[in-house]
Structure 1
Amino acid sequence: MATKKTRMKSTAVAVAVPQSRSMCADDIRRIGDLQREHARVAAELNDQIAALTNAAEPVLAELSQRIAALQTGVQTWCEANRVTLLGEDDRNGKTANLVTGEVSWRVRPPSVSIRGTEAVLEALRRGGLERFIRTKEEPNKEAMLNEPSALAGVPGVSIVRGVEDFIITPFEAQTEVTA
């Protein structure tokens, strides 16, 4: 029996720390260069994807139409021959094996569709059907931020302050594309 390796390969990256202000400025310029190169490669990839999608779209659309037509025909025949396929009492199963594949009938579970939520809520209240209205309770974070001293002894609540993000923004010329 072969022994498995239990060691993971390190993916650590050596970090070069600039040693002066000019070296730091040079690294920021290189970050900008790399970001622009990344954007160029991503744009090139998207162009290739768009070209492939455009080339395949007519073929895929035609295949989808042919599939839909065949599915409609199969469903029509199966509906007309449902008793033959499933028997009189189709409680035993709603799937028929047709050698090259199966067809089946499934009843979807009940669902509720609501249009005009506010009107529905008002109608439920007027009809005394409040049991069908959900009330969601949750902590009000905005109010907590306004009164942090009142929460001093509440377990599970902490006010996070002073989190600082470090952002590098290389300078570059802005251009506009006009139509």
Structure 2
Amino acid sequence: MKKPTKTKAKALQACQSLDEAQVIIKTIGEHNREITRLTGQMNDEVADITQSYAEKINPLKLAIDELTPKLQIWCEANRAMLLKDGGKTANLITGEVSWRIRPPSVSLRKIDEVIERLERFGLHRFIRTKKEVNKDAILNEPNAVTDINGITISTGVEDFIVSPFEIDVKP
């Protein structure tokens, strides 16, 4: 099978002077501010669209909330007729209604107190303990884990950050 051909990355040309570096930083700052301005404009438009549709959607949701209990009362009263084959779903031509029993669930209040009570009564099987690697301890003793596969300690990683100067005006 033929190996896929690799395409070469575009060769970058470095700045040639301090003046050019300053112009590039200024341009990056302008682009960042334009992104911020456009993002704000986009968010304003999204908010306007959301508001205009919310005014149309909310009355429909209220109508559904009024109609659903009416339908449920009728379906409960006629459940035997609707589910004559013993199923859980009835086809009413324009749609279906169904009854589902939810699976058992557990709800907890004051979790710390519940855990304490479970421990006091010896019910440790109901307490989950999460095991995880202590990365801080590894960073404190990197030589202890040098022979462990799967652990790599990265040091001296340097990021290049461009921070154009901007004035932050408080409203």
TM-score of Structure 1 vs Structure 2, range by shorter chain: 0.7 to 0.9
> What is the alpha-carbon root mean square deviation over aligned residues?
1.9
Aligned to 2:46: 49
Q: Distance in 2 between matches of 1:13 and 1:26?
A: 22
Q: Which residue of 1 aligns with 2:129?
A: 135
Deviations 1:122-166 (A, max 9, x none): 111111211111122222111111111111222222211111111
- Match 1:122 to one of 102, 116, 123: 116
Once superposed, which parts of structure 1, at least 4 consecutive aligned residues long, lie more than 6 Å away? none
Per the alignment, residue 144 of structure 2 pairs with 150
Deviations 1:47-70 (A, max 9, x none): 111112222222211111011112
Letter in 1 for 2:135: K
- Report the equivalent of 1:162: 156
Give the SS at the match of 1:164.
coil
- Spell out the pairing of 1:1-179 with structure 2 (5 A cutoff): 17-87=14-84, 92-177=86-171
Q: Secondary structure at the match of 1:163?
A: coil
Q: Deviations over 1:88-137 (max 9, x none)?
A: xx7x3110010111100111111211121111111111112111111222
Unpaired segments of 5 or more residues in structure 1?
Answer: 1-9
2: distance between equivalents of 1:14 and 1:80? Answer: 76
Cα distance in structure 2, aligned partners of 1:13 and 1:77: 70
Q: Count the aligned residue pairs.
A: 164
> What is the TM-score of this pair, normalised by structure 1?
0.84
